[in-house]
Amino acid sequence: MFLVEFLIKNGRAGIDFSSTIGRSGIFLCRSILGLSLGPKGLKLLAKQIYMVGVLSLVIIVVSGLFIGMVLALQGYNILIDYGSEQAIGQMVALTLVRELGPVVTGLLFAGRAGSALTAEIGLMKATEQLSSMEMMGVDPLKRIIAPRLWAGFISMPILAVIFSTVGIFGGLLVGVDWLGVYEGAFWANMQSSVNFQEDVLNGLIKSLVFGLVCTWIAVFQGYDSVPTSEGISIATTKTVVYSSLAVLGLDFLLTAVMFSSI
C-alpha cells in the first residue's frame, strides 16, 4: 500500500514536472519569435535592455573589480612558492575569461535582474494587467515577454565581458601596483596564453547560454506564478534558485565540452 501511495505521489510530481517543462518550452517558442522589429518594438527592447542590463552595471563592475583583486592576491600567494609570480597575469585573465566572468555574472544576473523580472511579471499577472491585455487583443507574450527575453540575451554577454575586463584591471591593480609584479610580464604572459578563439569566444558562448537560460527561467516563473503575494514570493525564490543551479550545471557541461581537449 505504501509503495502504491509513493508511486502515486511521485507519479503526479513527475507528470507535473514534465508539464511545467512542456509549458515553459511552448512559452519560450511563442515569445522568442514575437519581438517586433519596428520602431515600437525596438523602443520596448531598448527600455528593457536599460532595466535589465544598464541597471545591473553597478553590481557587475564592483563585483568584477573585487574578484579580480582577490584572484591576484590569492594567486600571488600560491605562485610565489614556485617562483612563478610573473604568471599572475595569465592566471587572472584565464580564470576570469573562461570561468568566473560568465559564471559569476550569470549568478549575479539571476539574483538581480532575474528576480526583478519575475516579480514584475508576476505582479502584472496578479493585477490582471496581462489578462486585460489579452482581452484587448494584444498578445502579452509579444508585447511584454519578448522584449524582456531578448534584453536578457543581449545584456548577459555584454555584462560578462565587462566583468572580465574590470576583473583584469583589478588584478593589474593588486598584482602590479601593490605586489610588485612587472607590468610588462603581466601583460606579455597573459597575451601569450590567452587565445581569442578558445578562451574569449568560449567564455562568450557560455555567457550567451547562461543569459538564455536565466532570462527564460525568470520570465517563465513570473508568467506562471500564482497571482497572490505569496505566489510571487515563491516564484522569485524559484527563479534565483533554479537559475543559479542551471548556471553552475551548464558551466560544468560546457567546460567539459570546450576545454577538456586542451
Partner 1 sequence: MDSYITINDLHFTRGHRSIFNGVTLHIPRGKVTAIMGPSGTGKTTLLRLIGGQLRADSGQILLDGQDISQLGRKALFDARKKMGMLFQSGALFSDISVFENVAFPLRAHTKLAEDVIRDIVLMKLQAVGLRGARDLMPSELSGGMTRRVALARTIALDPELLLYDEPFAGQDPIAMGVLVQLIRLLNDALGLTSVLVSHDITESLSICDHVVILADGVVIGEGSPTELKKSDSPLLKQFLNGLPDGPVPFHYPANDYKTDLIG
Partner 2 sequence: MYQRTIEAAVGVFMILGFGALMFLAIEVSGLSMSNDSDTYKIYAQFDDLGGLNVRGKVSLAGVPVGKVSAISLDEEAYSALVEMEIDKSVDKLSLDSVASIQTAGLLGEKYVSLSVGGEEEYLKEGDTIFDTQSALNLEKIIGAFASGQVEL
Query: d(Cα 56, Cα 184) in Å, to the nearest integer?
Result: 33
- Whole-number Å distance between alpha carbons of 74 and 85: 11
**23 grid coordinates:** 509549458
Nearer to partner 1 (CB atom), residue 105 or residue 225: 225
Q: Of partner 2, partner 1, none, which one does residue 77 interact with (CB within 5 to 8 Å by kind)?
A: none
Among partner 1, partner 2, none, residue 135 binds (CB under 5-8 Å by kind): partner 1
DSSP for 139-151, written as a single string: -HIIIIIHHHHHH
Q: Which of partner 2, partner 1, none is residue 195 near (CB under 5 to 8 Å by kind)?
A: partner 2
Question: By three-state DSSP, how is residue 96 classified?
Answer: helix
Among 69, 161, 174, 250, which residue sits at the site for partner 2 (rule: CB under 8 A)? 161
Q: Give 227's contacts (C-beta < 8 A, 6+ positions apart).
A: 122, 125, 126, 128
252 binds partner 2 (CB under 8 A): no
164 contacts partner 2 (rule: CB under 8 A): yes
Binding residues vs partner 1 (CB under 8 A): 127-129, 131-139
Letters for 191-230 (x = contact with partner 2 by CB under 8 A, - = none) are: xxxxxx--xx---x--------------------------
User: What per-residue string of b and e applies to 6-31 under the rule 16 or more CB within 10 Å gives b?
Assistant: eeeeeeeeeeeeeeeeeebeebbeeb
User: Considering CB distances under 5 to 8 angstroms, the limit depending on partner class, which of partner 1, partner 2, none binds residue 35?
Assistant: none
Per partner kind, with CB cut-offs from 5 to 8 A, the member of partner 1, partner 2, none near residue 147 is none
Q: Does 86 bind partner 2 (CB under 8 A)?
A: yes
77 vs 131, beta carbon nearer partner 1 = 131
Q: Give the single-character DSSP code of 176.
A: I
